[in-house]
Structure 1
Amino acid sequence: MIKKIDTIEQFEEVLTKEETFYLLKHSLTCPISQEAYNEYEKFSKENPSIPAYYLAVQEARPLSNEIAEKFAIKHESPQAILFSTGKAEWNASHWKITKKSLEQAINGEH
């Protein structure tokens, strides 16, 4: 199940609590972002043991900016980021966000 986060505090809590998790930066108005969200959702349904979160860029701009700055990842939307032990290990954007790319990243094939 994909959980929505909106604040920096929520993100910091997830970063502390979860060993490994995915985060999707999602735009509510972009059709490419909707496709990426659909792929993310498919991945999440088939891999329920891997925590999956998302933020809506229009609703959580401070959080989106904080992640870009803190982890030195240029902001893009849509953008999927794999976090492990408090670090951003992998990220992809736009059409590169697929169920297969998410599976490969979690299995260390990136």
Structure 2
Amino acid sequence: MIPVCRTEDLPEGGSVRIEIDETTPAIAVFHTEDGFYAVDDTCSHQDASLSEGWAEGCFVECPLHAALFDLRTGAPTCLPARHPVRTHEVGVFDGMVHVRPAVREEAVA
């Protein structure tokens, strides 16, 4: 797992964007009242950073066109987004938030 930040550095309602390397899409990590969640940072509708969106409960609203995603599943809950964003495993160990990036599925030829 990749260390992200200390729990006290990401207040409830806050988010942070992490970039791992040039082959892994950026990840947005959110601290909600239910815990920590991580999804791909780019909205599936258009190129917008979800970490710059508005989080409420277990949902994040895209700042560009107001698509809403469930942070628990990555599923869009309203248009214009039609496709989910990928979710990532999050763990908290010794006061530190960690993310395990999901394995990217390769296209089948």
TM-score of the aligned structures, taking structure 2 as reference length: 0.28
- The structure in which a higher percent of residues are helix is 1
Per residue, is there more strand in 1 or in 2? 2
Query: Which structure is higher in RCO with an 8 Å CA cutoff and minimum separation 6?
Result: 1
User: TM-score with structure 1 length normalisation?
Assistant: 0.28
